Structure 1
Amino acid sequence: MHISCYKRFQWFISNYKDYLQIIAEGEMVKILDVGGHQWNGSVDDILNECSPHQLDVLDICDGNGVTIIPRDPYCWAEIPDESYHFIYSLNTFAHIEYFWLTIKEMQRITKKGGIVLIITPSMRYDGCYPYACWAINKDGLAALSKWSGLTMINASVAGVPDMNCDDAWDFPLDDAMLIALKGTSVHYDFPKLNYQRRFVSPSDQKASLIKRIEMIIKKDPNKIKYWIEKHKGRISFYGAGDLCYKLLSYISKESIGVIVYENKPTMIEFEIKKMEWVCKNDKNIPIIITVSTNYLLPEIKRELKRCGFTDIYYLRDFLCDLEKQS
């Protein structure tokens, strides 16, 4: 499961768990995961917020967590009409050959007032397991909702709750997300993802960040020097590419702590170290993550923390600090 999909599901449960409790009328919330064979991540920890609940997992083959394997993948005779309060499918519709039949079954077995949630890539890619058939945009999800007899609450592509949410929401294939209701008469203020923040390619991000660095230095060549003096007198970097090299050109050598990178470095003027090679003292000075692939940043930060680094900055936050500095 892509981390961006995980974040959107987390947002959904946080904002819809109260509604699901209401329609369950004091009983367990009955939930079905369509395509939930846990071979690439799980959302069980998020579902624990929606308690008490009963979770069934439907897939076309046996696997970790699967509880229902229908004889016919497009006609789930094993499941009675209106069985579930909430049915979701995460990163599965792209792999279903005839997904319009799947959503019809999802609509059939959803209780009146129940919710259907679909998250799927909106852009083409050549994937696997066992097919990668479709990419669906916002209008496509709206059409699916209408055709299946559901009432659309919200359809979005690269939808975010606000434009300043963390980079884990961003994904190269721009998640499409449908929230739909079975029925039309429920009076409830359903939250929506009203903002769109499409994925920006790493090369475009890098060019934008380099330009931003140049503008900051043009206004005041000593900005980075003053920031370093306020933060233990030295600074380290994760990443040995163009962004790091650009910043190093404005920093004296005695102010450089360590440059950390796990892959083959592109710089030969400086010593590059792997995370585990960095001594304990060097892990206490600020380290800036100079990587332009946004969706990788949370994982890099987790790894740095795991290795003992204590003062970690994303490059954009570091640049914000410089811009605010008087």
Structure 2
Amino acid sequence: MHPTAMQNCQQFFDCYAPYVALPDEKVSVIEIGSQNVNGSLRSVCPAAFAYTGLDFVAGCGVDVVLQDPYALPFADESADIVLASSVFEHSEMFWLLFLEVMRILKPAGLFYLNVPSNGDFHRWPVDCWRFYPDSGNALVAWSRRNGMSPLLLESYTSLQHADQWNDFVAVFLKDESHARRYPLRILEHKRDFLNGIVADEPGRFLNYSQLPQDRIRLNTIREAVDQALS
């Protein structure tokens, strides 16, 4: 768990958690890839929520060990929130896993996705993918082809904080008909991001940048060196 990933998930819960809970109902949170490696998202989840950690191997923070990476052992429409942070880059066929997430979410359920947009090659046990600003919309298009009606509430690429990663973050709603239940967006207050998308402004990027994240990082380093030498 790198620092930016923890910060991004904290901002997700701060923004959306107040609108997930219903009176007299326990909110169920499922994390895919929950093994505690330098920190766990469980630590930023509201204490009142029922949290279940899934992973492919046993370990600290793992409640259920998956037998099939593309089959989640939960009933249809049984989860309020599903989290996947630094997982989809290691999933050889992440599009299949995305459909499974949509299957187990309740109609008003949320999927929080955090995936590197750049960064070092890191096998766990494989490292296959990086996500870019259009990735969230592509996943929505894929699930619609499979008979679902999700909505990308928002997405963005976070800037680095004490690590080498720029994370692509996306928040999906299982069924777009429940959009009014979630009136706020992380990007209403967040400033340290690039290429943000919000559902209320389709087709428009906030803080648009066409440069790849690694190039932005290199340019920033060069500028800092030039300033130091001047």
Please state which band the TM-score falls in when normalised by the shorter chain.
Answer: 0.7 to 0.9
Q: Aligned in 2, Cα 1:129/1:40: closer, same or farther, shift over 3 Å?
A: farther
Identity among equivalent positions (%) equals: 25
Counterpart AA for 2:187: L
Could you tell me whether the CA contact under 8 Å between 2:110 and 2:173 is conserved in 1? yes
> 1:39 maps to which residue?
37
CA distance in 1, matches of 2:102, 2:23: 20
Could you tell me whether the CA contact under 8 Å between 2:27 and 2:50 is conserved in 1? yes
Q: Does 1:67 align with 2:59?
A: no
More helix by percentage: 1
CA distance in 1, matches of 2:87, 2:111: 14
> Which structure's CA Rg is the greater one?
1
Deviation string, structure 1 residues 134-174 (Cα, Å, up to 9, x no partner): 10112122211332232110121226xxxxxxx62x75331
> 1:99 maps to which residue?
94
> 1:178 maps to which residue?
170
SS in 1 for 2:134: helix
Q: Aligned in 2, Cα 1:151/1:129: closer, same or farther, shift over 3 Å?
A: same
Please, what TM-score do these two structures have when normalized by structure 2?
Answer: 0.78
CA distance in 2, matches of 1:205, 1:175: 22
CA distance in 2, matches of 1:124, 1:44: 24
Deviation string, structure 1 residues 154-212 (Cα, Å, up to 9, x no partner): 121226xxxxxxx62x753311011000111221313132653566346325235427x
SS in 1 for 2:172: strand
> 1:207 maps to which residue?
225
Could you tell me whether the CA contact under 8 Å between 2:15 and 2:186 is conserved in 1? no
Could you tell me whether the CA contact under 8 Å between 2:33 and 2:55 is conserved in 1? yes
Counterpart AA for 2:142: W
Please, what TM-score do these two structures have when normalized by structure 1?
Answer: 0.56
Shift of 1:46: 1.2
> 1:52 maps to which residue?
48
> 1:135 maps to which residue?
130
Shift of 1:28: 1.6
Structure 2 gap segments, 5+ residues each: 195-212
Structure 1 gap segments, 5+ residues each: 160-166, 215-326
SS in 2 for 1:177: strand
> 1:226 maps to which residue?
none
Counterpart AA for 1:210: A
RMSD of aligned alpha carbons? 2.2
> 2:24 maps to which residue?
26
Which one has more relative contact order, counting CA pairs under 8 Å at least 6 apart? 2
Deviation string, structure 1 residues 14-63 (Cα, Å, up to 9, x no partner): 11110122xx333221000011111232122211xx24111111111211
Q: Aligned in 2, Cα 1:209/1:28: closer, same or farther, shift over 3 Å?
A: farther
CA distance in 1, matches of 2:23, 2:133: 32
Shift of 1:124: 5.6
SS in 2 for 1:25: coil
Could you tell me whether the CA contact under 8 Å between 1:138 and 1:177 is conserved in 2? no
Shift of 1:70: 2.9
